[in-house]
Amino acid sequence: MKPQHVEEFFRRLEGERPNPRGELEYASPFTLLVAVVLSAQATDASVNKATPALFAAADTPEKMVALGEKRIQDFIRTIGLYRTKAKNIVKLSEMLIAEHGGEVPRTREELQRLPGVGRKTANVVLNIAFAEPTIAVDTHIFRVGNRTGLARGSTPDQVEARLEKVVPTHYKIHAHHWLILHGRYVCTARKPNCPACLVRDLCAFKGKTTLEPPATPARKKTPARKQKARTARRRSALARA
């Protein structure tokens, strides 16, 4: 995608959502970190159903360690991989207490050392909690980047690197949210809603959907000689009946 088209792409997304925000519910950098860890291979909606009760019981690393792995499992049982996630939440809480004074670190390298925290999770926390211009590439951003031609790549890291290069600096702080929300609600996986897309004319996707029903293939005309033969056979059959 040409630089001027990238600029226009984000100008339109900004016009639709001037102040975008993530859909995970949280009250502090720590509860955000826990929520993002829980959201791996799960929907934000499913995480938001489980975390209010969990955070009411434990909203700091110290309280989470005191709550313990088994009790955490009880709160997050409806979320996929809940046993592994409960274990990681306890371990990362212990590490935050031991190495960071109970505070969430503000660098990607330190975040990625925490159990259950990969590059994507670290980027989300840095962007939302600390207003860093990071772009966390999830399945939605990976699809939008490749489908539109904005940032093509065969891996999330490649798409992230391309986005870091092409997204104008003044749009980077919100680019993560704009792309996720666009992929979640407009540029969906199975049937993108291209008629409602603000950037459809900038998009390189060749399989754009439309509001018109598919055209009915025109029926081939039967040659006159064959038509006469069919009519004769029908008449002969009726005469024998």
- Active-site annotation holds for 120: yes
**Catalytic residue (one of 138, 165, 221, 226):** 138
Tell me the residue type at 71: R
Could you report how far apart the first and last alpha carbons of the chain are, in Å?
69
**Catalytic residue (one of 63, 91, 120, 208):** 120
* Structure-block tokens of residue 136: 């966390």
Q: Are 153 and 146 contacting, i.e. CB atoms less than 8 angstroms apart?
A: yes
CB-facing half-sphere around the CA of 55: CA atoms within 13 A: 19
Taking Cα atoms as reference points, which of 159, 149, 151 lies closest to residue 119?
Answer: 159
Task: Name the residues annotated as catalytic.
Answer: 120, 138
